[in-house]
């Protein structure tokens, strides 16, 4: 069991109930789509996993570690097990593609040689070796998202969380990114993808978690976007 | 090592990312350090001046011509036994006259050839170890004036008294001004680092996301604060070096009287003190700023 949530609820100080009584098990190597309307709790779930938020009640265990009770000083090491990709890429504009990817290794204190080698490996995986010296503004949306995926994977995390990874991309580029994510999964990384894209979910027929008003209303092995 | 390299490089970049703010805070620190150095040097000069004047503090006890030698000896013994007294010398009438004649020889306007009788009294010259005690000792002796042994008493502690007062006022006033400058410098550094944190908020977000430790995130800002301090110290030391020559030459007369040593030893100590103080202020201000603005 890689991810285990038991009885997890999350209320924000303003009274919003973002998650209610979530029980969830995800095994290593799974491909999971998280669907639901905006405000259903997808982002809150993602934030609990990387401990950007703490649950109001319940337990979150990732790779055998109790995320709720872990010391603050241990949080960075949890995050090195989890890569995160966003709809808006969050690349640093004044760094090149290679520098953006290497940044994740440098600030987690890897030796220079490892930074070089792992950066090249990640760039090759997302097929951006040729673009390594370009700046984000010189890239297409798809290339920017591939850079972000390379950065998320360069630490060799066990889990990749993608929050609307194709939300800003055209249909062709969207498929390009999805194919890349499928390859990432084949290499052994567990994928959690939050999306509004019904076409992709219906085409891939992977596990689907449907959140509605903070509760899991549907959890299907080979699910579709809508029931 | 690579960690230190990363931190220093990031701090250096951060310093130049917002040069106007960085230079402004550097100059604020420099002004604070200049004030600090000024007070240190002034205090040192005044202490030296007090020391010199203290070493010259003497009470002169004039003795009655017909005082009994045993009474004089007894008085001398009593004075010598006072802990505030360093030495007592007996100057006879004849010695006193000799001294006067010696002075007269160098100053032709005084003619002492006519002197046939010696009008000068025997006296005790009392050298005190500490200027603060002058009043007490002279008060004690003054009570005995006219009682057969002591004919008169001369003391002149007012100069030392005034100097001690000036030193005290300067120390307190200096500390107050320095305290205010310190507050201003800290305030400016805290804000400089706050702006630096703000300028790099995207980078910080990514760092936290990919699992950089808190210290990896914080150290560049703390080192940036220290850079502000060190640059401030360098500016202050350069300013001191630039004015040291002219000021010293204008003080030559004063420096002859008062043995203020501004030798290489003192300069080295002052430089080390300023840089150390600057590092502390810069580091502390930045740490406070980072703790406040990077919480979470």
For the stretch A201-225, pLDDT in tens is 999 999 999 999 999 999 999 999 9
- Is A196 among the domain residues? yes
Asked if A80 lies within 8 A of B213 by C-beta distance, the reply is no
Task: Tell me: do B113 and B185 sit in the same domain.
Answer: no
Supply the angle between the helices B158-199 and B19-55 in degrees, to the nearest 10: 160
pLDDT at B109: 66
CATH number, position B130 = 3.30.70.3040
Give pLDDT < 50 ranges for chain A. none
Asked if B2 lies within 8 A of A111 by C-beta distance, the reply is yes
pLDDT at B54: 66
Contacts of A158 in chain B (CB under 8 A): none
- Is A2 among the domain residues? yes
Q: How would DSSP label each residue in B255-280?
A: HHHS----SHHHHHHHHHHHHHHHHH
For residue A51, the chain B residue with the least C-alpha distance is B209
Per-residue confidence at B261, pLDDT binned at 50, 70, 90? low
Contacts of A50 in chain B (CB under 8 A): 209
Contacts of A155 in chain B (CB under 8 A): 210-211
Contacts of B208 in chain A (CB under 8 A): 76, 79
Asked if B211 lies within 8 A of A155 by C-beta distance, the reply is yes
DSSP count for chain B of H helices, then E strands = 10, 4
Distance from CA of B189 to the nearest CA of A (A): 25
Task: Tell me: do A131 and A201 sit in the same domain.
Answer: no
* CA angle, B184 then B189 then B193, to 5°: 150
Task: Tell me: do A165 and A141 sit in the same domain.
Answer: no
Asked if B210 lies within 8 A of A155 by C-beta distance, the reply is yes
Task: Tell me: do B215 and B230 sit in the same domain.
Answer: yes
Domain termination residue (choose one: B98, B122, B156):
B156
In angstroms, the CA A183 to CA A189 distance is: 9
Task: Tell me: do B23 and B169 sit in the same domain.
Answer: yes
Cβ of residue A69 closer than 8 Å to a chain B Cβ: no
In angstroms, the CA A151 to CA A159 distance is: 13
- Range of A14's domain? 1-81+157-227
Q: Which of A156, A173, A62 is nearest to A101 (CA)?
A: A156
Beta bridge partners of A24: A5
Instruction: Check pLDDT > 80 for residue B103.
Output: no
Q: What share of chain B is helix, strand, coil (3-state, %, to 5)?
A: 75, 10, 20
Window from A42-51, A111-120, B124-133, B215-224 with minimum mean pLDDT: B124-133
pLDDT at B57: 65
Task: Tell me: do A115 and A167 sit in the same domain.
Answer: no
Instruction: Check pLDDT > 80 for residue B263.
Output: no
pLDDT at B177: 83
In angstroms, the CA A16 to CA B201 distance is: 27
Contacts of B294 in chain A (CB under 8 A): none
Distance from CA of B213 to the nearest CA of A (A): 6
Contacts of A112 in chain B (CB under 8 A): 2
Distance from CA of B285 to the nearest CA of A (A): 23
Global confidence as pTM: 0.72
Rounded average pLDDT over B178-191: 87
Gyration radius of chain B's alpha carbons: 31
For residue B220, the chain A residue with the least C-alpha distance is A107
For residue A104, the chain B residue with the least C-alpha distance is B210
Domains: count for chain B: 2
Per-residue confidence at B258, pLDDT binned at 50, 70, 90? low
Asked if A79 lies within 8 A of B211 by C-beta distance, the reply is yes
Please tell me which of the candidates B202, B211, B214 has its beta carbon nearest to residue A108.
B211
The phi and psi torsions of B149 (rounded to 5 degrees) equal: -110, -55
What's the distance, CA A138 to chain centroid?
Answer: 25
Task: Tell me: do A138 and A77 sit in the same domain.
Answer: no
In angstroms, the CA A167 to CA A188 distance is: 25
pLDDT at A105: 95
Contacts of B213 in chain A (CB under 8 A): 73, 76, 109
In angstroms, the CA A115 to CA A104 distance is: 9
In angstroms, the CA A224 to CA A198 distance is: 8
pLDDT tens digit sequence for B11-65:
898 888 888 889 988 998 999 888 888 887 777 777 777 777 766 667 888 888 8
Asked if B206 lies within 8 A of A77 by C-beta distance, the reply is no
In contact, B282 and B189? CB cutoff 8 Å: yes
CATH number, position A64 = 3.40.50.300
Q: Which stretch of DSSP H or E encloses residue B175?
A: helix B158-199
Task: Tell me: do B214 and B102 sit in the same domain.
Answer: no
As a whole-number percent, the residues of chain B with pLDDT over 90 amount to 17
Task: Tell me: do B270 and B172 sit in the same domain.
Answer: yes
Test mutation, A52, A70, A83, A107, chain B, max B CBs within 10 A: A107
Task: Tell me: do A118 and A145 sit in the same domain.
Answer: yes
- Fill in the DSSP letter of residue B121: P
Contacts of B4 in chain A (CB under 8 A): none
Task: Tell me: do A121 and A179 sit in the same domain.
Answer: no
Domain termination residue (choose one: A139, A156, A173):
A156
Domain termination residue (choose one: A102, A125, A156):
A156
Domain termination residue (choose one: B156, B171, B206):
B156
**How many residue pairs from chains A and B have C-beta atoms closer than 8 A?**
53
Surface of A (8-67) touching B: CB under 8 A: 50
Instruction: Check pLDDT > 90 for residue B268.
Output: no
Q: CB-based contacts of B95: which residues, under 8 Å, 6+ apart?
A: none
pLDDT at B252: 59
Task: Tell me: do A170 and A216 sit in the same domain.
Answer: yes
Asked if A76 lies within 8 A of B211 by C-beta distance, the reply is yes
For residue A50, the chain B residue with the least C-alpha distance is B209
Domains: count for chain A: 2
For residue B200, the chain A residue with the least C-alpha distance is A92
Surface of B (203-242) touching A: CB under 8 A: 203, 205-214, 216-217
For residue A151, the chain B residue with the least C-alpha distance is B210
Contacts of B203 in chain A (CB under 8 A): 92
Distance from CA of A80 to the nearest CA of B (A): 5
Task: Tell me: do A140 and A227 sit in the same domain.
Answer: no
In angstroms, the CA A149 to CA A89 distance is: 9
Asked if A92 lies within 8 A of B202 by C-beta distance, the reply is yes
Domain termination residue (choose one: A156, A184, A213):
A156
pLDDT at B254: 59
Task: Tell me: do A175 and A222 sit in the same domain.
Answer: yes
Task: Tell me: do A191 and A152 sit in the same domain.
Answer: no
pLDDT at A146: 96
In angstroms, the CA A153 to CA A198 distance is: 25
pLDDT at A135: 97
Output the average pLDDT for chain B.
Answer: 82
Task: Tell me: do A53 and A162 sit in the same domain.
Answer: yes
Distance from CA of B207 to the nearest CA of A (A): 6
The residue with tokens 């503004």 is A137
In contact, A155 and A38? CB cutoff 8 Å: no
Structure tokens belonging to residue B12? 């250096």
- Is A86 among the domain residues? no
- Range of B9's domain? 2-52+161-293
For residue B295, the chain A residue with the least C-alpha distance is A72
């Amino acid at each position: 069991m890689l991810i285990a949530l038991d009885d997890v609820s999350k209320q924000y100080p303003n009274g919003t109930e973002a998650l209610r009584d979530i029980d969830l098990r995800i095994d290593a190597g799974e491909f999971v789509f998280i669907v639901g309307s905006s405000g259903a709790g997808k982002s809150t779930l993602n934030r609990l996993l990387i401990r950007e938020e703490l649950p109001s009640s319940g337990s979150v265990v990732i790779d055998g570690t109790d995320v709720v009770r872990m010391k603050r000083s241990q949080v960075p090491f949890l995050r090195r097990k989890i890569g995160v990709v966003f709809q808006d890429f969050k690349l640093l504009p004044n760094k090149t593609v290679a520098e953006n990817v290497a940044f994740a290794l440098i600030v987690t204190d890897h030796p220079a040689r490892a930074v070089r080698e792992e950066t090249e490996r990640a760039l090759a995986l997302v097929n951006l070796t040729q673009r390594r010296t370009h700046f984000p503004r010189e890239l297409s949306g798809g290339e920017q998202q591939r850079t972000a995926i390379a950065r998320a994977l360069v630490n060799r995390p066990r889990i990749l969380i993608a929050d609307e990874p194709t939300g800003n991309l055209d249909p062709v580029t969207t498929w390009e990114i999805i194919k890349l994510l499928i390859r990432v999964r084949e290499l052994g990384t567990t994928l959690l993808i939050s999306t509004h894209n019904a076409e992709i979910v219906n085409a891939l027929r992977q596990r689907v978690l449907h959140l509605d008003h903070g509760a899991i209303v549907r959890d299907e092995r080979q699910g579709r976007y809508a029931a | 090592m690579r960690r230190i390299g990363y931190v220093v490089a990031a701090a250096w970049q951060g310093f130049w990312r917002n040069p106007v703010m960085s230079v402004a805070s550097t100059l604020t620190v420099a002004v604070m350090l200049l004030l600090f150095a000024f007070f240190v040097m002034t205090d040192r000069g005044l202490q030296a001046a007090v020391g010199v004047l203290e070493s010259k503090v003497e009470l002169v006890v004039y003795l009655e011509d017909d005082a009994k030698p045993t009474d004089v000896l007894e008085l001398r013994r009593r004075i010598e036994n006072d802990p505030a007294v360093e030495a007592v010398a007996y100057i006879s009438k004849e010695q006193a006259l000799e001294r006067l004649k010696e002075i007269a020889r160098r100053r032709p306007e005084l003619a002492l050839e006519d002197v046939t009788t010696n009008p000068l009294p025997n006296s005790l010259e009392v050298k005190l170890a500490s200027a603060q005690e002058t009043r007490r000792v002279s008060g004690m002796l003054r009570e005995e004036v006219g009682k057969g042994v002591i004919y008169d008493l001369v003391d002149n502690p007012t100069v030392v008294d005034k100097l001690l007062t000036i030193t005290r006022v300067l120390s307190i006033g200096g500390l107050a001004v320095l305290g205010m400058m310190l507050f201003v410098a800290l305030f400016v550094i805290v804000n400089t680092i706050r702006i630096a944190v703000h300028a790099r908020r995207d980078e910080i977000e990514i760092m936290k996301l990919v699992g950089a430790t808190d210290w990896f995130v914080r150290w560049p800002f703390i080192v940036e604060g220290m850079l502000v301090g060190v640059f401030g110290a360098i500016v202050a030391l350069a300013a001191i070096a630039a004015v040291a020559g002219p000021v010293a030459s204008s003080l030559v007369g004063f420096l002859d009287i008062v043995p203020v040593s501004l030798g290489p030893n003192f300069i080295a100590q002052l430089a080390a003190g300023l840089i150390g103080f600057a590092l502390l202020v810069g580091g502390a201000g930045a740490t406070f700023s980072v703790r406040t603005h990077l919480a979470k």
